[in-house]
Amino acid sequence: MSQQPDAKPVDAWLAESLRVTVFPSPGASFADQRWWEQLVGQPPETQTSQPRKGGRKDEGPYQDRKLVLDCETTRIDWHVLPAGPPEESDHGFPTIGGYSEYLDMFSDLMRAWLDLEDFPAINRLAVAPILLQPVGSLPDGYQRLSEYLPSVQIDPHGSSDLVYQINRPRESRSRISGLRINRLSKWSVATIRLFTLTGAGPSSRPEAQHRACRLQLDVNTAAEFDGELPADGLIPLLQELMDLAGEIASHGDIP
Amino acid sequence: MTAQPHGVETDSLTSGMVPPPDVTLRPGRSAARKIVEALPADSAKRSRVGWRVTCTFSSTTQWVETEHVIQADNATGLERPKTDDDTPYRSVQAAFGSAKDEFLEDGTESQFAREIKVLIAKHRRSALEAISHLILFTKTGHHVANEALSTLGTVSEPTTYEYRRWLLEQSLGAPSAVVRDGAVIGLAWLDDPHAVPYVQRAVQGEQVAPLRRSMERLLEQLGKESRWHWSLE
């Protein structure tokens, strides 16, 4: 019988990116939305019309990070991404900073969005952060992963190419009857290599290489849910999804 | 330089790179920097762990290979439609993927070689950038890279000439002897004296005797006075 892993601080994780996605109900209209301006307080830096997809992408800086609003007829995504290249990061990875720190910021922004008057009716909601924990080597990474994956026996020194992905669905604790929540997580150790060509002459300095445990999360309301999610229940539901993501980041893969 | 045994994949070139043609680099600035990715999108490679280095050689070109999504029925990342602007990369990547299963025979034009030519004719620089990325920065199989480089020398598309020559010259420094061999063949087809200093440098460091002899023969070919004078007349 596998042991339940001890809770570890969520602060151990850096965030590579954060995403919140909603799936509008069929017939929901939001073509004229001005959510970016309403939430950020100024127009986006760039706005790209995507007529074939029936959508629009707004992008710009927000609190020293890159914020993207990607609107299509069938889905709406908000992303928080690193503003600069990995080499400008303290960790050598493309991160937006500490997970818990930016989760609070993003959570506030998303709550304000869900609360807007013209927020459309939706039938699905998702929270999908990608998290990183820098490690010194592949065995170190596997050792670290094993602390989060009690049901997986990892041989840190005699294995490679490990990807562990699982869905641990749960019933929602919200008052929305019959709502199931998918708790998808994907665990691996990733390597990033940077190659920099400089203007100092025909030479290269491609020495930078970093490794990290990588946790991709996709915590979402199940597609099988029939009907629209109640508007007055969206903010608590968002919080529930974020709590569940935090639980996986802290406790690892648990039922 | 130690030659890599056949079949062992290496990550990338680690020295001797120069920027591609028509790229102006500002001192202190990174020209190759855009890094994304998790796992390749095609199912055959889904088991591979790691991030792909996605390289931007100019301010206007970048590759976004896959979305940051979990591949699962219950995930919310799957519905995103693929964008059009990454078609050249995906096409080239698909050709490289298919070539892994093709028997590549010396002296016979492979299906892969034909696809490479078609893709370069269609996508021009974008195709070359994708090929460069796959050969220089990913774990492309050595024999596939060899075939691609050999083919580059026989392509007649004129607007990509300098880029093809650049890639061949850079590939002379590849960790794999098989890849270096492909570069030698491609440069022999190209028959451009511009490559002479690159080949000279490669000869000095070449540890694999048959390959060193191929490079020396290439130097002889490229350095022939008569050929040069003929071309002037």
Q: Is there a contact between B17 and A204 if contact means CB atoms under 8 Å apart?
A: yes
What was the pLDDT predicted at B32?
Answer: 33
The dihedral formed by the CA atoms of A157, A97, A243 and A187, expressed in degrees to the nearest 10? -20
B interface with A, Cβ–Cβ < 8 A, is 11-19, 25-36, 38-39, 46-51, 53, 55, 68-72, 74-77, 79-81, 137
| CB neighbour list of residue B130: distance below 8 Å, 6 or more residues apart | B63, B88, B89, B91, B92, B93, B123
**Average model confidence (pLDDT) for chain B?**
67
Q: What is the pTM of this model?
A: 0.59
What was the pLDDT predicted at A4?
Answer: 66
A chain contacts of residue B26, beta-carbon cutoff 8 Å: 199
Residue among A57, A59, A56 nearest A44 (CA)? A59
> Is B34 in contact with B54 (CB distance < 8 Å)?
yes
* Tally of structural domains, chain B: 1
What was the pLDDT predicted at B86?
Answer: 52
What was the pLDDT predicted at A192?
Answer: 67
Does A192 or B11 have the greater pLDDT score? A192
Residue A1, classified by CB atoms within 10 Å of its CB into exposed (0-12), middle (13-18) or buried (19+), is exposed
Q: Is there a contact between B68 and A216 if contact means CB atoms under 8 Å apart?
A: yes
B chain contacts of residue A188, beta-carbon cutoff 8 Å: 49-50
pLDDT digits (tens, 9 = 90+) for B58-83: 333 333 333 345 656 777 764 443 44
Is B16 a member of any domain? no
User: For B153, which DSSP code?
Assistant: T
Query: What is the C-alpha separation between A238 and A227, in angstroms, rounded?
Result: 17
Best mutation target among B13, B70, B71, B76 (most A Cβ atoms within 10 Å) is B76
What was the pLDDT predicted at B33?
Answer: 31
pLDDT digits (tens, 9 = 90+) for A93-129: 778 888 888 888 899 999 999 999 999 999 999 999 9
Is B6 a member of any domain? no
Is pLDDT above 60 for B42?
no
Is B79 a member of any domain? no
A chain contacts of residue B36, beta-carbon cutoff 8 Å: 94
Residue numbers of the domain that contains B169? 43-65+84-99+109-232
Q: And the tokens for A111?
A: 């709550």
Is B21 a member of any domain? no
Buried-state track A226-239, b at ≥16 Cβ within 10 A, e below 16: eeebeeebbbebbe
Q: Is there a contact between A199 and B72 if contact means CB atoms under 8 Å apart?
A: no
Is B15 a member of any domain? no
Residue B221 CB neighbours (<10 A): 14
Q: And the tokens for A112?
A: 């304000």
Residue among A220, A254, A236, A255 nearest A21 (CA)? A220
What was the pLDDT predicted at A89?
Answer: 60
* Interface contacts (A, B; CB < 8 Å): 135
Is pLDDT above 90 for B199?
yes
What was the pLDDT predicted at A60?
Answer: 92
Does B227 or B114 have the greater pLDDT score? B114
Is pLDDT above 60 for B48?
no
- For B11, which of A126, A165, A193 is closest by C-beta distance? A193
What was the pLDDT predicted at A86?
Answer: 52
Q: And the tokens for B192?
A: 């451009």
A chain contacts of residue B29, beta-carbon cutoff 8 Å: 198-199
What was the pLDDT predicted at B21?
Answer: 54
Does B154 or B39 have the greater pLDDT score? B154
- Neighbouring-strand partners of residue A204: A197
> Domain containing B154 — which CATH number?
1.25.10
3-state secondary structure of A62: strand
Q: And the tokens for B100?
A: 């892994």
> From B23, which residue of chain A is nearest by alpha-carbon distance?
A199
One-letter amino acid of A4: Q
Per-residue pLDDT band for B103 (boundaries 50, 70, 90) equals confident
A chain contacts of residue B18, beta-carbon cutoff 8 Å: 197, 202-204
Residues of chain A with pLDDT under 50: 1, 195-207
Is pLDDT above 50 for B154?
yes
Residue among A55, A82, A83 nearest A69 (CA)? A55
User: For B44, which DSSP code?
Assistant: G
Is B10 a member of any domain? no
Q: What share of chain B is helix, strand, coil (3-state, %, to 5)?
A: 50, 0, 50
* Residue A161 Cα, gap to closest chain B Cα (Å): 5
Give the start-to-end residue ranges of the domains of chain A.
Answer: 10-249
Is pLDDT above 50 for B110?
yes
Query: What is the C-alpha separation between A64 and A67, in angstroms, rounded?
Result: 9
- Neighbouring-strand partners of residue B90: none
Best mutation target among A18, A124, A162, A197 (most B Cβ atoms within 10 Å) is A197
Query: What is the C-alpha separation between A165 and A187, in angstroms, rounded?
Result: 6
